């Protein structure tokens, strides 16, 4: 029996760190001849999407369209988080022409947690650790061939204790 408090600060996210790693992996395989201007446009920080409170608004701001559920989007995440402050979640997909992978936590004060640009030729496989305020659905969105695909899983954040 016990009580813990997850000191959750809505202002802090693990976005930039994760995105940096994805970009580094991509660097070695960026094909020659990609126009510099296009690359620059893709790098624009989606500030508006990271301000939205609801998952639907964040997806709209980020992509301007809605995802469809797909069993080709694979999410690896625990059923019950061992620590809500650092929940390991990874996503991969067998879909072709993946251009981005995003993570959203429905019940967080700001739903969008991280969005990764996937350069052409990169294996679409991202692992990160996210912070969760409380039990929530977690959504992974894969953008592939200009369409959106999603997978959803509930992750429980518990106060712990009382196991027998």
Partner 1 sequence: MIIRRRELLKGAAAATLSAGLPRLARGADTASVYDLERFGNARILHITDTHAQLRPVFFREPSVNIGVGAMAGQPPHLVGKAFLDRFGIRPDSADAYAFTCVEFEKAAARFGRLGGFAHLKTLIDKLRADVGERRTLLLDGGDLWQGTGLANAMKGADMVEAANLLGIEAMTGHWEFTYGEAVLRDNLSRFKGEFLAQNVFLTEEAAFNDAKAFDPASGRVFKPSIVKEIGGHRVAIIGQAFPYVPIAHPKRFTPDWTFGIRDEELQKLVDNHRNNDKVDAVILLSHNGMDVDLKLAGRVTGIDVILGGHTHDAIPLPITVTNAGGVTLVTNAGSNGKFIGVLDLDLAKGKVANVRYRLLPVFAELLKPEPAMQALIDKMRQPYIDDWDDKLAAADRLLYRRGNFSGTVDQLICDALQSELEAEIALSPGFRWGLTTLAGQPLTMEDVLSETAITYPETYVASMTGSQIKDVLEDVCDNLFNADPYYQQGGDMVRVGGLAYTCTPGESVGKRISELKLGNGKHLEAGKSYKVAGWASVNQQSGAPVWDVVAKHLRAGRPPNRDAPGVTLNGVEDNPGITRLG
Share in percent of the chain as helix, strand, coil (round to 5): 20, 30, 50
Q: For partner 1, what does the binding mask look like between residues 134 and 163, x meaning CB under 8 A? A: -x------------------x-x-xxxxxx
The nearer residue to partner 1, 83 or 99, going by C-beta atoms, is 83
Cβ 18 to partner 1 shortest distance, Å? 14
User: First vs last Cα of the chain: how many Å apart?
Assistant: 11
State the sign of the Cα–Cα–Cα–Cα dihedral 148, 153, 73, 85: positive
Which residue of 25, 60, 83, 85 would you call a contact of partner 1, by CB under 8 A? 83
Q: How many residues bind partner 1 (CB under 8 A)?
A: 22
Contact 155, 80 (CB under 8 A): yes
Q: Which is nearer to partner 1, 4 or 94 (CB)?
A: 4
Residues 6+ apart with CB under 8 A from 74: 91, 92, 93, 94, 151
**Residues 8-67 interacting with partner 1 (rule: CB under 8 A):** none
Under the binding rule (CB under 8 A), the answer on residue 7 touching partner 1 is: no
Look at the block and give the residue holding tokens 């690359």.
Answer: 39
Binding interface with partner 1 (CB under 8 A): 1-4, 76, 78-83, 88, 135, 154, 156, 158-164
């Amino acid at each position: 029996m016990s009580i813990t408090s997850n000191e959750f600060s809505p202002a802090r996210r693990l976005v930039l760190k994760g995105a940096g790693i994805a970009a580094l992996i991509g660097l070695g395989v960026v094909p020659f001849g990609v126009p510099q201007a296009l690359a620059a446009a893709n790098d624009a920080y989606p500030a508006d999407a990271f301000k939205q409170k609801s998952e639907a608004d964040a997806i709209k701001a980020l992509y301007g369209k809605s995802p469809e559920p797909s069993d080709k989007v694979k999410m690896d995440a625990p059923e019950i988080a061992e620590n809500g402050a650092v929940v390991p979640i990874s996503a991969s997909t067998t879909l072709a022409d993946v251009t981005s992978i995003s993570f959203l936590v429905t019940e967080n004060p700001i739903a969008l947690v991280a969005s990764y640009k996937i350069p052409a030729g990169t294996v679409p496989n991202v692992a990160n650790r996210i912070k969760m305020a409380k039990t929530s659905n977690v959504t992974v969105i894969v953008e592939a061939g200009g369409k959106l695909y999603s997978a959803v899983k509930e992750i429980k954040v518990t106060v712990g204790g009382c196991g027998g």
